[in-house]
Amino acid sequence: METIQAKKQARPAEYDIEDDEELYVTRMPSSTRRYRSAPPVQQEPHDGPDTQSGVLIQRRRSSLSPKRTSGIASSAITTPDTHMLRSVRRFPLVAILVGVVLTIVLFMSLSVLGSWWHTYQDDLHYGRPRTSQLDAAVGHGDSAINKTHFIFLNLNRHVEIIEIPGGDATHMRVFLGPVLFGDGQDLTPVTGEIRDVNGDGKPDLIVHIQNEQIIFLNDGTTFRPQ
């Protein structure tokens, strides 16, 4: 029986060696793979893309130097002026306020002008002090030919009615009316008319003061307040 002697292969000795990560080359995951690039070389700035080492590098817009455009700013990078925006927003309010002020001034001017015109017309018709007159036959010693003359007078806010029967001043009578109160009442016109109020066939005297009227009844010889 043959004895087969197998050669024993030498086995390397195993030693516990502390692993050093720098001795191994590990592969990064594809999603976070890094590429080492050569350190950047300072070049003159230019508008075209950088083509260094065959790699196309896209420059950021903020890194590009601004272009000189002869004083004309580009609309793509120009921001609106804050003061202009505020003035545009404030313009409607200012316009409204100016319109309101102008309306008030116009209204006041028209009111003053209307008051002046009314006073001017009264000055032409009634004078100062305010005076109006009329002639009528009332049966107090007068006739259709020699009528009685009436004078309606606003003398310093005191209303007075003067009667001259038949034009004879020796028989003149004065009837006192109310005293007017308020600003400008000394320029209030006082007018009158002759009309039978109570239907007794005798003409009565009616005094008009603005929207108010005062009636003096005719008793055949004189007038008496109603």
Following DSSP, what letter does each residue of 169-218 receive, concatenated?
Answer: GGG-EEEEEEEP-STTGGG--EEEEEE-SSSSSS-EEEEEETTEEEEEEE
Predicted pLDDT at 92:
79
**Rounded-to-integer distance, Cα 3 and Cα 187, Å:** 162
174 has pLDDT over 70 = yes
119 Ramachandran zone, left/alpha/beta (phi>0; psi -120 to 50): alpha
Predicted pLDDT at 27:
60
pLDDT band at 15 (very low <50, low <70, confident <90, very high): low
Predicted pLDDT at 95:
85
153 has pLDDT over 80 = yes
Predicted pLDDT at 112:
92
143 has pLDDT over 70 = yes
How is the chain classified by DSSP, letter by letter? Answer: -PPP-PPPPPPPPP------GGGS-PPPPGGG-----PPP------SSPEEETTEEEPPPGGGSPPPP-TTPPPTTTPPPPHHHHHHHHHHHHHHHHHHHHHHHHHHHHHHHHHHHHHHHHHHHHHTTTEEEEEEE--SSS--SSSPEEEEEEEETTEEEEEEEGGG-GGG-EEEEEEEP-STTGGG--EEEEEE-SSSSSS-EEEEEETTEEEEEEE-SSSEEE-
Predicted pLDDT at 93:
84
Residue 7 to residues 4, 10, 13, 89: CA-CA distances in angstroms? 9, 9, 18, 102
Predicted pLDDT at 1:
47
**Percent of all residues in the chain with a pLDDT value above 70, rounded to a whole number:** 60
154 has pLDDT over 80 = yes
62 has pLDDT over 70 = no
Range in 14-18, 136-140, 157-161, 187-191 the model is least confident about: 14-18
155 has pLDDT over 80 = yes
Instruction: Look over the chain and give the mean of its residue pLDDT values, rounded to a whole number.
Output: 78
Predicted pLDDT at 76:
47
178 has pLDDT over 50 = yes
